């Protein structure tokens, strides 16, 4: 379903006019659709029905408690990369037994807490992490369930900053060395080998890199079996792309069908860690035009959202669609949409043909993933509010930060 559609000349989120949300909660505000999130989660879960699986939502993509809670209610698991994300999952009612813990820099404290609450699996990213996990598990007198995150050296054909499966990336264990590291893991008394994990990158728009990776992982499963090491699950990570502009990413159902076909007859459970493909198109960033500044060379719309609210355009040159909430006539100009932050890189979009007047509301689309979560307080700007729409109802799920919030933890020097 498309949750953001025009009705009577104005843009709605499900059954609520975005203008009503702006009137009530101000701007900039992130707005999410409950129905869309649920539908996208179900696209994964339904395609996996009838076989052992976990759909572990990548918390980093959108970690608002209400969003996590919706997913937890549907039976989702969670992919986390920090103790902070673990505590969020618990606070949102998530089941720790459905949590996989990824990330290259787990501290001893992270490991201890995850073992205490009983996560499903640690996705171990190096030989040195493996030794550390053994020590921490031994101190607690428990066995830590592990997968090794292998780096299959596959080109995900995506932006270099979000490509993770190449040899030169910091992630995972080289697939050529993985057998030796598995042999070591199998020897360590406080570890239990559960699976193989990988994640090759994000915003992939074709299946072939995923399926090439899978083929390489299955060869590894067989080589390990020959050494008596039994792999019980494959974690294929996240990475399925979404449409920002005109991309045509595969549907989760088609991806999963292709994976199921290849693992047929094997006693393997499947784990996925989707983030973007569940929440990106469930969200918009609602912002208001403060000024229209026309110069000899350029037309600028200065809006009240900035790079601190949504950094994807500045950081990855990401193209995000921007649409007027209530389109009207008037002179169309080619605007650069820029924020109030003092950086040349502070833009959300460039060269957009729009008819604007001061005070207009705009919606930046596909902002539900890696939007709010990557926001900062640069220029002492409070972070945006977040609102979740459910049919005809709107819920404030994170209040706008106040200026006092921003320096509440700071103190002056003594006299
Ligand atoms: N699993 C692991 C281990 C990951 O590192 C990631 C994303 C995911 C799952 C979820 O991937 P997804 O399904 O969302 O593609 N900030 C960037 C994206 C960074 C992705 C980092 N890892 C952006 O705004 O495009």
Q: Which of 59, 25, 12 is nearest to 279 (CA)?
A: 59
* CATH number of the domain enclosing 10: 2.40.37.10
Which of the listed residues 44, 54, 58 should we mutate to test ligand 1's pocket, taking the one with most ligand atoms within 8 A of CB? Answer: 58
The answer to the question of residue 413 being in a domain is no
Centroid of ligand 1 to alpha carbon of 230 (angstroms): 28
Is 188 found in the same domain as 286? no
The SS3 assignment for 348 reads strand
Atom of ligand 1 nearest to the CA of 276: 14
Q: Which of 241, 258, 277 is at the close of a domain?
A: 277
Distance CA 4, CA 31 (A): 10
Q: At 156, is the pLDDT very low, low, confident or very high (cuts 50, 70, 90)?
A: confident
Q: At 1, is the pLDDT very low, low, confident or very high (cuts 50, 70, 90)?
A: confident
Is 358 found in the same domain as 243? no
Residue 161 has pLDDT above 90, yes or no: no
DSSP state at residue 384: P
Distance CA 224, CA 230 (A): 7
Is 202 found in the same domain as 56? yes
| 305 within 8 A of 285, measured Cβ to Cβ | yes
Centroid of ligand 1 to alpha carbon of 12 (angstroms): 28
Centroid of ligand 1 to alpha carbon of 194 (angstroms): 23
* Average pLDDT of the segment spanning 24-52: 98
Atom of ligand 1 nearest to the CA of 123: 3
Centroid of ligand 1 to alpha carbon of 158 (angstroms): 12
239 is in an annotated binding site: yes
Is 294 found in the same domain as 223? no
Is 27 found in the same domain as 48? no
Residue 160 has pLDDT above 80, yes or no: no
Atom of ligand 1 nearest to the CA of 239: 15
Q: Which H/E stretch holds residue 7?
A: strand 4-7
The per-residue pLDDT for 260 is 98
Whole-complex ipTM: 0.99
Is 358 found in the same domain as 234? no
Is 15 found in the same domain as 156? no
Is 58 found in the same domain as 25? no
Going by alpha carbons, the residue nearest to atom 16 of ligand 1 is 370
Per-residue HEC secondary structure of 177-234 comes to: HHHHHHHHHHHCCCEEEEEEECCCECCECCCHHHHHHHHHHHHHHHHHHHCCCCCCEE
Ligand 1 and 366: CB distance under 6 A? no
Ligand 1 and 276: CB distance under 6 A? yes
343 is in an annotated binding site: yes
The answer to the question of residue 166 being in a domain is yes
Residues catalogued as catalytic = 342
Helical packing angle, 252-263 and 208-226, nearest 10°: 30
The answer to the question of residue 330 being in a domain is yes
Distance CA 195, CA 191 (A): 12
* CATH number of the domain enclosing 94: 3.20.20.10
DSSP state at residue 98: G
241 is in an annotated binding site: no
Q: What residue numbers bound the domain in which 294 lies? A: 4-32+280-407
Is 268 found in the same domain as 148? yes
Measured between alpha carbons, how far is residue 357 from residues 10, 289, 295, 304, 361 in Å?
Answer: 16, 8, 16, 14, 9
Is 203 found in the same domain as 64? yes
275 is in an annotated binding site: yes
Distance CA 278, CA 199 (A): 16
Going by alpha carbons, the residue nearest to atom 8 of ligand 1 is 238
Residue 103 region by backbone torsions, left for phi larger than 0, else alpha for psi between -120 and 50, else beta: left
Residue bearing the bigger pLDDT, 415 or 187: 187
Is 246 found in the same domain as 156? yes
Centroid of ligand 1 to alpha carbon of 87 (angstroms): 19
What totals of helices (H) and strands (E) does the chain contain, helices first? 12, 21
378 is in an annotated binding site: no
Mean pLDDT, the chain, rounded, equals 96
The per-residue pLDDT for 159 is 65
Ligand 1 and 278: CB distance under 6 A? no
| Residue pLDDT, tens place only, 320-379 | 999 999 999 999 999 999 999 999 999 999 999 999 999 999 999 999 999 999 999 999
Residues contacting 76, CB < 8 A, separation 6+: 41, 45, 55, 56, 57, 94, 98
Q: pTM for this one?
A: 0.97
Distance CA 114, CA 104 (A): 15
Is 199 found in the same domain as 80? yes
The per-residue pLDDT for 278 is 98
Lowest mean pLDDT among 62-76, 156-170, 271-285, 369-383: 156-170
Ligand 1 and 312: CB distance under 6 A? yes
Ligand 1 and 201: CB distance under 6 A? no
Atom of ligand 1 nearest to the CA of 102: 3
Atom of ligand 1 nearest to the CA of 280: 14
Question: Based on the structure, what is the number of domains in the chain?
Answer: 2
Q: Which of 236, 251, 277 is at the close of a domain?
A: 277
316 is in an annotated binding site: yes
Ligand 1 and 36: CB distance under 6 A? no
């Amino acid at each position: 379903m498309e949750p953001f559609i025009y009705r009577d000349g104005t843009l709605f989120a499900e059954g609520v006019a975005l203008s009503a949300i702006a009137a009530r909660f101000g701007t900039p505000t992130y707005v999410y659709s409950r129905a869309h999130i649920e539908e996208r989660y179900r696209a994964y879960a339904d395609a996996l029905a009838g076989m052992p699986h976990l759909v572990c939502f990548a918390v980093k993509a959108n970690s608002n408690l209400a969003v996590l809670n919706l997913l937890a209610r549907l039976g989702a698991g969670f992919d986390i990369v920090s103790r902070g994300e673990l505590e969020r999952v618990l606070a949102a009612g998530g089941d720790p037994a459905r949590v996989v813990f990824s990330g290259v820099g787990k501290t001893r404290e992270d490991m201890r807490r995850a073992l205490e609450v009983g996560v499903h699996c640690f996705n171990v990213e190096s030989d040195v992490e493996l030794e550390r996990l053994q020590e921490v598990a031994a101190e607690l007198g428990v066995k830590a369930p592990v997968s090794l995150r292998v780096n299959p050296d596959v080109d995900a054909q995506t932006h270099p900053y979000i490509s993770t499966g190449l040899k030169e990336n910091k992630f995972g264990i080289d697939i050529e060395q993985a057998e030796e590291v598995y042999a070591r893991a199998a020897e360590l008394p406080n570890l239990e080998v559960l699976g193989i994990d990988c994640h090759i990158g994000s915003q992939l728009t074709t299946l072939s890199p995923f399926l090439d990776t899978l083929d390489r992982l299955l060869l590894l499963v067989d080589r390990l079996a020959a050494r008596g090491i039994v792999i019980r699950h494959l974690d294929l990570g996240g990475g399925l792309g979404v449409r920002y502009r005109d991309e045509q990413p595969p549907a989760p159902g088609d991806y999963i069908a292709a994976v199921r076909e290849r693992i047929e007859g094997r006693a393997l459970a499947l784990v996925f860690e989707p983030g973007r493909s569940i929440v990106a198109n469930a969200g918009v960033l609602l912002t208001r035009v403060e000024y229209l500044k026309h110069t000899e060379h350029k037309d600028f719309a200065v809006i009240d959202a900035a790079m601190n609210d949504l950094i994807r355009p500045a950081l990855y040159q990401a193209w995000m669609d921007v649409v007027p909430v209530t389109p009207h006539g008037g002179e169309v100009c080619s605007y650069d949409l820029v924020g109030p932050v003092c950086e040349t890189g502070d833009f959300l979009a460039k060269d957009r043909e729009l008819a604007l007047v001061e005070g207009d509301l705009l919606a930046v689309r596909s902002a539900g993933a890696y939007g709010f979560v990557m926001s900062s307080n640069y220029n002492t700007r409070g972070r945006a509010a977040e609102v979740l729409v459910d049919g005809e109802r709107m819920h404030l799920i994170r209040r706008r930060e106040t200026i006092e919030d921003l320096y509440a933890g700071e103190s002056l020097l003594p006299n």
